[in-house]
């Protein structure tokens, strides 16, 4: 939203305006946007509430507060703000798509579908709305809805993004009716459409993986031993997307002393500051050993202060952004007592689940089977490296073992967090916390095993994926 320099300037200007006129709600709105961009969600919510008090009829402030509250896991309050925005005239298909997503996250699937259906006539939201319905419905006794989706494929006014989401929705419908070949056809078409405008190069991914492995050595960790912030508050749940990260977070977040914050960008924002502790001209990751030792405590403290805003009383706060697996070495340097949980699942099940899911952000590698398999291989190699240079720091949780013996694995998770066991962790499906990933339906049910071995439904289509996973580079 703002660059680093423009954020500082905007913050300065807005603060000056408020000093001169404390009732200037637009300045408070600007400060809210800056706080949101910086990951200071509690501050953003406070600014927006103050702006609402001064301009109670501004629907935009309610819609934006809904998004902030969504990030803070305050799902009921988030949905309430959307209803207020609608009452104030923000009555359009986009807001109903957001409302459908919010209600889905809360587990109110009936009302969610009603909201999504109000957005299926607009080409800018049609595909997203149908995909939202597909995430919460098996389309049983809704053949008419499937026929409408099929008819919508012929519309010439759909943006590629929405056409892609429509194919994803139809893929899920065909999968549920066990027409797996047609389902795979729709998934392939979906990824072709979503791939446009999402540049990704597998060779670049491989090069970057080698650079990380060569830079983060045993000697590096020995050099910076004793640095970093000693807080035990952060918990990082890492792995490939669709590897069980949501289920793991739902289990540990059911513990009364754990706050599950979902997928956060806070770590990535925080580590941008590392460059200010490097000599001129130094590059990362190659010159990671030249970072000033005091950097790690400073940056670790910045991260802890940021996530504390999400829960003031939790003993552990989890961040389940899967791609943090590339930053495990940085986590060790800045937060040596943070818990790291690595979710691992059958490679083909993981990759098929990625290929058949519409992600909001996935760096683009899930759109092609060869690139997906190649990226999975780089992930495997990088995780093997972290275990080698950081022995004992990462707890591996295998998805298949978790669904086969949930209590045993859940107890290992809670023990790894350094907390006393609580039986609520076995009733994670009763937890009403917001879940905003593609597993939002599954984690509201007891553990089930139907997703194990799912790749076999599509086995005859997976040759490019399998060869890429096995390919050396």
Among 74, 132, 329, which Cα is nearest to 215's?
Answer: 329
Tell me what the pLDDT averaged over the chain comes to. 92
317: enclosing H helix or E strand = strand 316-319
Q: In sequence order, what are the residues at sequence separation of 6 or more whose Cβ sits closer than 8 angstroms to the Cβ of residue 271?
A: 299, 327, 330, 334
Residue 339 clears pLDDT 50, i.e. is over it:
yes
* pLDDT of amino acid 43: 92
Q: Which of 161, 179, 197 is the last residue of a domain?
A: 197
DSSP assigned state of 365:
G
- The CATH number assigned to the domain holding 235 equals 3.40.50.300
**Are 320 and 246 members of one domain?**
yes
Shared-domain flag, residues 185 and 263:
no
- State the pLDDT at residue 39: 82
Residue 2 pLDDT greater than 50, yes or no: no
Among the candidates 146, 180, 197, a domain finishes at 197
Identify the domain boundary among 197, 214, 238.
197
How many Cβ atoms are within 10 Å of 464's Cβ, its own excluded? 15
How many structural domains are present in the chain?
Answer: 3
Residues 80 and 135 in one domain: no
The answer to whether residues 227 and 143 belong to one domain is no
Res 330 pLDDT > 60: yes
Least confident of 144-158, 168-182, 277-291, 435-449: 435-449
**Is 98 among the domain residues?**
no
Tell me, yes or no, whether 175 and 321 share the same domain: no
- Residue with the bigger pLDDT between 91 and 391: it is 391
Q: Based on the domain organization, do 192 and 217 belong to the same domain?
A: no
Residues 184 and 286 in one domain: no
Tell me: do 161 and 277 sit in the same domain.
no
The distance of Cα 464 from the centroid of its chain, to the nearest Å, equals: 27
CATH of the domain at 146: 1.25.40
Question: How far apart are the C-alpha atoms of 154 and 165, rounded to whole Å?
Answer: 14
Range of the domain at 147: 117-197
397 close to 409: Cβ distance less than 8 angstroms: yes
Tens digits of residue pLDDT in 159-211: 999 999 999 999 999 999 999 999 999 999 999 998 877 778 999 999 999 99
Q: Name the token pair of 151.
A: 């008819």
Under 8 Å CB-to-CB from 323, ≥6 apart: which residues?
A: 238, 363
Whole-number pLDDT of residue 4: 53
Are 374 and 296 in a shared domain? yes
Q: Are residues 190 and 252 in the same domain?
A: no
CA contacts within 13 A on the Cβ side of 156: 0
Same domain, 183 and 214: no
CATH number of the domain within which 44 lies: 1.25.40.10
Q: How many residues does the chain have?
A: 473
Higher per-residue pLDDT: 236 or 71: 236
Examine residue 127 and state whether it is found in any structural domain, yes or no. yes
Q: Find out whether the peptide bond into 285 is cis, omega within 30 degrees of 0.
A: yes
Q: Is residue 106 part of a domain?
A: no
Reference 112, options 104, 122, 121; nearest CA is 104
- For residues 64 and 132, state if they share a domain: no
């Amino acid at each position: 939203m703002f660059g680093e320099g423009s954020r500082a300037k905007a913050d300065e200007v807005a603060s000056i305006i408020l000093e001169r006129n404390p009732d200037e709600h637009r300045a408070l709105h600007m400060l809210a946007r800056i706080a949101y961009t910086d990951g200071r969600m509690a501050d953003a919510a406070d600014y927006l509430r103050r702006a609402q008090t001064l301009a109670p009829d501004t629907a935009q402030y309610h819609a934006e507060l809904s998004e902030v509250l969504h990030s803070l896991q305050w799902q009921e309050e988030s949905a309430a703000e959307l209803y207020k925005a609608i009452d104030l005239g923000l009555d359009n298909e986009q807001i109903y798509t957001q409302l459908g997503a919010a209600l889905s996250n809360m587990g109110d699937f009936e009302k969610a579908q009603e909201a999504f259906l109000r957005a299926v006539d607009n080409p800018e939201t049609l595909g997203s709305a149908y995909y939202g319905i597909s995430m919460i419905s098996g389309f049983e006794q809704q053949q008419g809805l499937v026929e409408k989706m099929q008819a919508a494929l012929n519309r010439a006014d759909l943006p590629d993004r929405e056409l892609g989401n429509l194919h994803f929705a139809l893929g899920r419908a065909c999968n549920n009716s066990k027409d797996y070949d047609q389902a795979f056809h729709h998934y392939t078409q979906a990824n072709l459409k979503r791939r446009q405008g999402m540049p990704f190069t597998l060779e670049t991914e491989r090069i970057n993986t080698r650079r990380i492995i060569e830079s983060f050595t045993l000697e590096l960790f020995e050099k910076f031993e004793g640095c970093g912030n000693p807080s035990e508050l952060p918990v990082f749940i890492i792995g490939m997307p669709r590897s069980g990260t949501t289920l793991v977070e739902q289990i540990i977040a059911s513990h009364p002393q754990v706050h599950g914050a979902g997928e956060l960008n806070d770590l990535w924002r925080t580590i941008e500051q590392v460059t200010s502790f490097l000599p001129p001209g130094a590059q990362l990751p190659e010159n990671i050993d030249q970072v000033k030792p005091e950097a790690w405590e400073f940056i670790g403290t910045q991260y802890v202060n940021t996530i504390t805003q999400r829960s003031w009383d939790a003993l552990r706060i989890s961040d389940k952004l899967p791609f943090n697996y590339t930053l495990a070495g940085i986590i060790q340097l800045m937060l040596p007592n943070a818990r790291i949980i690595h979710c691992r699942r059958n490679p083909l099940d993981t990759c098929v689940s990625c290929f058949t899911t519409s992600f909001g952000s996935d760096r683009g590698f899930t759109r092609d089977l060869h690139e997906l398999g190649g990226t999975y291989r780089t992930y495997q190699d990088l995780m093997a490296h972290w275990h080698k240079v950081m022995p004992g720091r990462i707890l591996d949780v295998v998805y298949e073992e978790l669904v086969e013996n949930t209590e045993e694995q859940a107890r290992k998770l809670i023990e790894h967090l350094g907390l006393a066991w609580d039986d609520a962790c076995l009733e994670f499906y009763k937890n009403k916390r917001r879940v905003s990933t593609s597993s939002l339906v599954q984690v509201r049910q007891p553990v089930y095993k139907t997703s194990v071995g799912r790749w076999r439904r599509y086995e005859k289509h997976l040759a490019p994926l399998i060869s890429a996973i096995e390919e050396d580079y």
